[in-house]
Amino acid sequence: MTDSPLQVVHNEQAHRFEAQVPGGLAHTDYRRVGSTLEMVHTEVPPEAAGGGVASKIVKAALDYATANKLTIMPRCTYVRSYMQRHPETHVLLAPGASL
């Protein structure tokens, strides 16, 4: 990865938050169900793995949810583990969601 900050973009049309990284596109995908983002998949190219890319993209998605008063249903195992490590995100959990 380069020393420049990672630029995460919300691609609403593709229903994901994404960033260009070495090896291609890193992204976390969601389905919007009412006022809930169902986080369904996170992927980082092998060339960019281990650099905190997934964490930064998921944080951007959760920040978006906070700013827009949305809740999160963590169906993606990475999003679930991220939220487990960051208790401050638990307020975003959709009714019935569990970590």
- Tell me if 73 is assigned to some domain: yes
Burial tier of 28 (Cβ tally within 10 Å: 0-12, 13-18, 19+): buried
Which single residue is written with the structure tokens 């991220």?
Answer: 82
pLDDT for res 5: 83
* pLDDT band at 1; cut points 50, 70, 90: very low
pLDDT for res 29: 98
Q: How far apart are CA 2 and CA 12, in angstroms?
A: 26
Q: Do 37 and 71 touch, CB atoms closer than 8 A?
A: yes
Q: How many domains does the chain have?
A: 1
Q: Give the H/E segment covering residue 42.
A: strand 36-43
pTM: 0.93
- Tell me if 35 is assigned to some domain: yes
Backbone angles phi, psi at 41, to 5 degrees: -165, 140
* Per-residue pLDDT reduced to its tens digit, 26-82: 999 999 999 999 999 999 999 999 999 999 999 999 999 999 999 999 999 999 999
Q: Give residue 76's domain range.
A: 9-92
Residue type at position 3: D
Kindly give the pairing relationship between strand 71-74 and strand 16-21. Answer: unpaired
- Tell me if 4 is assigned to some domain: no
